[in-house]
Amino acid sequence: MTSKIGVEMQDVVLSVNGETHALTVDPRESLLDVLRERVGLTGSKKGCDQGACGACTVLVDGVRTASCLALAVQYGDGRAITTIEGVGDSENPHPMQRAFVARDGLQCGYCTPGQICSAIGMLAEFQAGWPSVVTADISAGPEHLDDGEIRERMSGNLCRCGAHNGIVDAIRDVATEAGSVAP
């Protein structure tokens, strides 16, 4: 099948939040647009559409991904995509969602889905020993997750309202619970 402008459409099977979605997509469609417009999951936001703000962040196989820069056709073949809708819900929120509420890690809420997905992925990166720009000894990996590490690791996610202090506090709370930082 070809589109109205002659582009060959492609079939893709996406695994999103544990559900399978068989779709025919334009190979130029972003993962963000497919998630929002075809799958109906509007939690991930289109902020800059250039990968600079982080509002569109989702997890792919547990790794943070700017879905506005990712082509949907790249994420089939059993890759597990998790959006904010798959992280938790009102009945059973993820610990990061609870911490964001408890620590006022949001104001308008537009960036919050991307912030939460990014924070979850960032903690997994830290626990796997991935260094950051501010890690003192990158050959040894990060020793602890202090506010400087959190801020650097979350620097790809912008909050225009200025809730960054609450976001850092929320992430620190969850990391402390997980044993990644000293209380």
Burial tier of 158 (Cβ tally within 10 Å: 0-12, 13-18, 19+): middle
User: CA 30, CA 35: separation in Å to the nearest integer?
Assistant: 9
Report the pLDDT value the prediction gives residue 22, as an integer from 0 to 100.
97
Instruction: Give CA separation, 101 vs 13, 41, 46, 56, 118, in Å.
Output: 34, 21, 22, 20, 16
CATH fold label, 10-87 = Ubiquitin-like (UB roll) (3.10.20)
Q: Class for domain 95-177, per CATH?
A: mainly alpha
User: CA 156, CA 54: separation in Å to the nearest integer?
Assistant: 6
Tell me where in the chain the CATH 1.10.150.120 domain(s) lie: 95-177
User: CA 94, CA 2: separation in Å to the nearest integer?
Assistant: 41
Other C-beta atoms lying within 10 Å of the C-beta of residue 22: 9
Tell me where in the chain the CATH 3.10.20.30 domain(s) lie: 10-87
More confident residue, 52 or 7: 52
Report the pLDDT value the prediction gives residue 183, as an integer from 0 to 100.
47
Report the pLDDT value the prediction gives residue 180, as an integer from 0 to 100.
64
pLDDT, tens only, 115-168: 999 999 999 999 998 988 888 887 877 778 899 999 999 999 999 999 999 999
DSSP helix/strand/coil, 6: coil
Mutual orientation of helices 95-102 and 112-127 as an angle, nearest 10°?
120
Report the pLDDT value the prediction gives residue 182, as an integer from 0 to 100.
52
Q: In the predicted model, is pLDDT for residue 4 greater than 90? A: no
pTM for the full predicted model: 0.93
